[in-house]
Chain A
Amino acid sequence: MRRSFLDFFQLEYHRVVRFLMCCGADQQTAEDAAQEAFVEGWRMVTAGTWGSVDNRQGWIRRIALSAYRRPRGQKRCQLPISHGVDLPDRSEPGPGHEELTVQARTVLAALAQLSDDQRHVMALHLDGYSSAESAQLLGLQDQKARDLLKGARRKLRRILSPAEPAERKD
């Protein structure tokens, strides 16, 4: 069990960090929350209940996301998320971001302009989750998740190709 959890950890840890970053966390915060989620998972391993978790990838993301969204006193300084034109800059000042490739930074900046829900669905989508699975993880209606994803994609397209705003193919 321990071995398999360690494998799971090795496999998923960075992906969970990335997932949280796509959800709008800066890298440090993402790492914190991801670690917190894995600690939670480890507790279940020691308690012997880890085996009862079906969708482990989904579970760890759900826990990590709620860890990220839960304000944690002074220690977790959550950057206030505002949705405005100035948002693209938000993803850049964090340490480490300067090494991000242009593409990754662009996509983070674009994601930052989505609404919270849209961003979460989109982040899960990037990790290969269908909207139905996302709906289940986030506690949303199927239809709601599909709409969010659709809206997110439309918005991303518009942000990423500002020259031709009107062409929509949904």
Chain B
Amino acid sequence: MSRHEDGHESLAEARLDTFLTTAGDALLHHVQNTTSVSEALLRLMGADQENTAQGRSARPSVGRALQQARTDAGLTVEELSSTTRVRIPVVRAIEQNDFTHCGGSSYARAHIRLLARAVGLDPDTLVEQYDTDRSGFPDPVPAAPLFEAERVTRREPLRPNWTAGLAAAVVAVVVFTGFTLIGDGSRDGSRPAHSSVAEADPSKSAEPQRKPEPSDGAIAAAPADKVVVQLIADSGSSWISVNGRDGQLLYEGVLKEGDSKTFLDGERIDLVLGNPGAIQLYVNGKKSDDAGDMGQIQRLSYTKGDPAHGEPAR
């Protein structure tokens, strides 16, 4: 809190009065400059004025006349809105003599014309009445600061779009380079194809996989007379090779991080894992720790029934 400049001397009564007066003036000045003169209030006084002064002369207000004519014509606000293309809230507001939603007096006149025509009133009379009702009534525009503030905040989100776009582009570039580097660093020659291997190579992977057993089911319900192996690359990518009985190739390629594959064979599955540390291995529905550590190539064999799992060949 800042003290008054003369604070070090005693403020005599007169001084206090002077101070209070000037401070009061400053405060009043501030209030006058920052207060938006209650548009709603002015409107109320304008609208109510119609109800008293003009209500006596038996002429209904513009909004009231429109509403009356609409109900007489048996129309709902929604129907009127759809025929005139004036939005429902605007129609409602106009019927309450609130023309602020129209976006300016010329728009308000246009809206009144549209609505009047639709409900069978004379547009010119109504617009004329609208104009006379407004005249002599303080234009509500001075109350605009409030709405200006609103508009400013509303416009704001539009501007950062450039920044956001730029940021998105940067992120995209970073992600792309990151992936490229990881791809380079991770494994061997099959890298360029890795992204498409899973889906785009059905001749090799999907087909032979299905051939042994078409009902390629979930491992949880592993059939007892088959060997089922699920590989989940949860902590990195790994090149893998999967062979069925008689050395038949079921799959060969890179399992990307987050991917998972299930293989099924009637007798035997042989696995070669390029980066076993990255792979979670489930054999016949049970988690297996055979995969081994990061960076060592691992060869594993499983046969049907609970795995008499193959010896890690080094």
Contacts and interface: CB of A to CB of B under 8 A. Distances in A.
A95 B35 CA distance: 12
Q: What is the predominant secondary structure among interface residues of chain B facing chain A?
A: helix
Interface residues of A, number: 45
B35 A160 contact: no
Q: What is the predominant secondary structure among interface residues of chain A facing chain B?
A: helix
Given A2-B49, A103-B22, A169 B12 contact: yes
Interface stretch (B38-46, B179-187, B245-253): B38-46
A59 interface: no
Nearest to B34: A96
B23 A104 contact: yes
Nearest to A125: B20
B32 A14 contact: yes
Contacts of B13: 153, 157, 169
Contacts of B6: 161
Contact of B27 (A13, A22, A169): A22
A26 to B, nearest CB: 12
A39 B44 contact: yes
B4 A27 contact: no
B2 interface: yes
A164 B33 CA distance: 36
12 contacts: A9-B41, A14-B31, A17-B35, A18-B24, A21-B27, A27-B34, A96-B30, A99-B30, A104-B23, A106-B4, A106-B23, A161-B10
6 interchain residue pairs of minimum CB distance:
A107-B23, A104-B27, A104-B26, A88-B1, A103-B23, A101-B26
Interface of B: 1-4, 6-13, 16, 19-24, 26-35, 37-38, 40-41, 44-45, 48-49, 51-53, 138
